[in-house]
């Protein structure tokens, strides 16, 4: 349990590192004499770092997983320090790129480790607990960063996160049990899983489904104010409520995925999200109805996150590091595409509610890919996964039994040696 808490601590830090820049753009623009659009490149730099960072996963398959994740968190901490010390916007861009490099690696390694240290059949719940740190960052970390920027400096949150990185390193070092290494069958073997259609179906589902939800989330402020009719002063509390919705839904979906299957849970979350988005388009101009529906739809973004991570992990046997990194890249590219497509109807002069239709369309296509995975591949990969888990558990039990037998033999030998020494001493005393 402590190991999962340490992973959640790390997810919290990475979540703040990724999302906090969204609230700091005006402060970047002011300090470096930029416009907001240029300041927004700090967000893009982090996203590019996430995508390039997966190269680390390709060449570190032989490392112990605990050692590897400690290296990743160290890189994150260095990135936070460099951002806090940046004296030009160019340095901010470089520091944000470096900060993004370990992001996908952390969640990839964390997913594998969470599955390994969790109880049998509880992998999705373990994944959800780790991701709870990321959803908490949206609720608490991002508003904290904005508040610190307003009262002190935008650098304050990055100094705080650098210190938090040290806390995460210590927590992982002390609390995380040894998860061992991945089985190494050679460099090219880790790409063999890409010959199957299953990881592409899950990846496209993440890319389009999650990207669709993020499409709505990217323009949620104008949707709330211009369509739902929410006063500007109430937007911030609603965003916090959405963050809480993400946290709660993430934990619930993890338990559901353990009871049923990750693919089915993700699919039905997508279906419910589509219904909520379309209902919001029709009835969202009634304030209470609009707020409830949009808050639910926002929760779906992380509601399907844990189950999808489990699905991509199960479809990448022998290449787990590449698989989970592939999932992270799909998630981040999907967010970028979703945000871009959501802006198209606004540029064409349509109302903010039109974004909801684009969002629902993308989620629908993502749900189709997930349904295809369920019908064609999920049962096969689920059975394979649990067979491997059973073999690993049996091997661990055999090793533990062998160690216990060896330990008992060594204790018996020590006892016999002590008895012999006592007997020899007594014999010498009689002489």
What is the per-residue pLDDT across 15-72, written as a single tens digit (0 to 9) for each? 888 878 777 777 888 888 887 667 777 877 887 888 788 788 777 777 888 899 999 9
Q: What confidence category does residue 393 fall into, taking pLDDT thresholds of 50, 70 and 90?
A: low
Number of helices (H) and strands (E) in the chain: give both, helices first: 19, 0
Q: Which secondary-structure segment (H or E) carries 45?
A: helix 41-59
Q: Tell me the average pLDDT across 294-309.
A: 88
What's the CA dihedral at 268, 273, 276, 277 to 10 degrees?
-140
Both 265 and 117 in one domain: the answer is no
Both 328 and 384 in one domain: the answer is yes
The pLDDT of residue 265 is 92
Both 178 and 197 in one domain: the answer is no
The pLDDT of residue 360 is 95
Residue 389 tokens read as 């888990």
Both 132 and 248 in one domain: the answer is no
Cα–Cα distance for residue pair 24/19, rounded to 1 Å: 10
Cα–Cα distance for residue pair 115/8, rounded to 1 Å: 14
Please classify residue 375 by burial: count the beta carbons closer than 10 Å to its beta carbon, then call 0-12 exposed, 13-18 middle and 19+ buried.
Answer: exposed
Residues 6+ apart with CB under 8 A from 221: 235
CB 16 within 8 A of CB 161: yes
Please classify residue 272 by burial: count the beta carbons closer than 10 Å to its beta carbon, then call 0-12 exposed, 13-18 middle and 19+ buried.
Answer: middle
Give exposure, 275-287, as e/b (b: 16+ Cβ within 10 Å). ebbbbbbeebeee
- Asked whether residue 215 carries a pLDDT value surpassing 80, the answer given is yes
Q: For the whole model, what pTM was predicted?
A: 0.74
Q: Tell me the average pLDDT across 388-417.
A: 73
Select from 154, 182, 210 the last residue of a domain.
Answer: 182
Select from 139, 162, 182 the last residue of a domain.
Answer: 182
Cα–Cα distance for residue pair 109/327, rounded to 1 Å: 12
Both 85 and 215 in one domain: the answer is no
Please classify residue 298 by burial: count the beta carbons closer than 10 Å to its beta carbon, then call 0-12 exposed, 13-18 middle and 19+ buried.
Answer: buried
Please classify residue 142 by burial: count the beta carbons closer than 10 Å to its beta carbon, then call 0-12 exposed, 13-18 middle and 19+ buried.
Answer: buried
Q: Tell me the average pLDDT across 134-146.
A: 77
The more confident residue out of 176 and 288 is 288
Tell me the three state secondary structure of residue 167. helix
Please classify residue 253 by burial: count the beta carbons closer than 10 Å to its beta carbon, then call 0-12 exposed, 13-18 middle and 19+ buried.
Answer: buried
Residue 11 tokens read as 């997810």
The pLDDT of residue 410 is 77
User: Minimal CA–CA distance to 4: which of 139, 256, 172?
Assistant: 172
Cα–Cα distance for residue pair 390/378, rounded to 1 Å: 18
Q: Tell me the average pLDDT across 248-264.
A: 86
- Asked whether residue 185 carries a pLDDT value surpassing 70, the answer given is no
Both 273 and 411 in one domain: the answer is yes
Cα–Cα distance for residue pair 284/287, rounded to 1 Å: 7
- Asked whether residue 199 carries a pLDDT value surpassing 70, the answer given is yes
Q: What confidence category does residue 375 fall into, taking pLDDT thresholds of 50, 70 and 90?
A: very high
Number of domains in the chain: 2
Both 176 and 201 in one domain: the answer is no
Both 368 and 407 in one domain: the answer is yes
CATH number at residue 28: 1.20.1250.20
Give exposure, 143-169, as e/b (b: 16+ Cβ within 10 Å). bbbbebbeeeebbbbbbbbbebbebbb
Both 199 and 162 in one domain: the answer is no
User: Minimal CA–CA distance to 220: which of 208, 245, 238?
Assistant: 238
Cα–Cα distance for residue pair 280/283, rounded to 1 Å: 5
Select from 182, 214, 244 the last residue of a domain.
Answer: 182
Both 161 and 216 in one domain: the answer is no
Dihedral sign of CA atoms 148, 300, 389, 372 in order:
negative
Residue labelled with tokens 């500007």:
232
User: Minimal CA–CA distance to 291: which of 233, 229, 214?
Assistant: 229
Cα–Cα distance for residue pair 335/183, rounded to 1 Å: 32
Both 401 and 429 in one domain: the answer is yes
Q: Tell me the average pLDDT across 165-180.
A: 89
Both 305 and 158 in one domain: the answer is no
Residue-range definition of the domain harbouring residue 371: 190-431
Q: What is the DSSP letter of 177?
A: -
Q: What is the DSSP letter of 63?
A: S
């Amino acid at each position: 349990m402590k190991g999962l808490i340490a992973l959640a601590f790390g997810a919290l830090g990475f979540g703040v590192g990724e999302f906090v820049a969204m609230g700091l753009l005006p402060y970047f623009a002011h300090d470096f004499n930029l416009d907001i659009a240029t300041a927004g490149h700090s967000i893009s730099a982090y996203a590019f770092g996430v995508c390039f960072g997966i190269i680390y996963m390709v060449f570190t398959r032989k490392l112990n997983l605990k050692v590897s994740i400690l290296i990743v968190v160290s890189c994150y901490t260095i990135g936070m320090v460099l951002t806090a010390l940046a004296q030009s916007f160019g340095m901010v861009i470089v520091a944000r790129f470096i900060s993004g490099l370990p992001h996908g690696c952390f969640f990839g390694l964390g997913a594998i480790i969470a599955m390994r240290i969790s109880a049998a059949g509880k992998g999705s719940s373990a994944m959800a607990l780790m991701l709870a740190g990321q959803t908490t960052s949206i609720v608490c970390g991002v508003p904290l960063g904005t508040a610190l920027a307003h009262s002190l400096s935008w650098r304050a949150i990055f100094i705080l996160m650098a210190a938090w990185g040290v806390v995460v390193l210590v927590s992982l070092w002390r609390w995380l049990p040894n998860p061992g290494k991945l089985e190494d069958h050679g460099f090219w073997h880790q790409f063999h899983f890409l010959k199957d259609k299953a990881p592409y179906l899950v990846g496209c589902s993440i890319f389009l489904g999650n990207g669709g939800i993020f499409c709505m989330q990217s323009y949620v402020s104008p949707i709330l104010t211009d369509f739902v009719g929410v006063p500007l002063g109430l937007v911030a509390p609603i965003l916090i409520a959405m963050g809480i919705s993400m946290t709660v839904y993430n934990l619930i979906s993890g338990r559901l995925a353990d009871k049923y299957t990750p693919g089915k849970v993700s699919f039905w979350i997508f279906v419910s999200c589509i219904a909520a988005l379309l209902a919001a388009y029709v009835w969202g101009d009634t304030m209470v109805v609009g707020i409830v529906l949009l808050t639910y739809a926002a929760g779906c973004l992380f509601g399907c996150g844990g189950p999808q991570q489990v699905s991509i992990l199960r479809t990448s046997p022998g290449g787990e590091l590449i698989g989970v990194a592939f999932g992270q890249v799909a998630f981040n590219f999907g967010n970028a595409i979703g945000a871009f497509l959501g802006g198209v109807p606004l540029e064409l002069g349509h109302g903010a509610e039109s974004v909801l239709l684009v969002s629902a369309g993308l989620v629908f296509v993502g749900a189709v890919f997930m349904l295809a995975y369920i019908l064609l591949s999920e049962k096969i990969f689920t059975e394979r996964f649990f067979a491997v888990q059973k073999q690993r558990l049996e091997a661990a039990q055999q090793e533990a039994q062998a160690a216990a037998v060896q330990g008992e033999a060594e204790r018996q030998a020590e006892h016999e040696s002590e008895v012999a020494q006592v007997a020899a001493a007594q014999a010498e005393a009689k002489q």
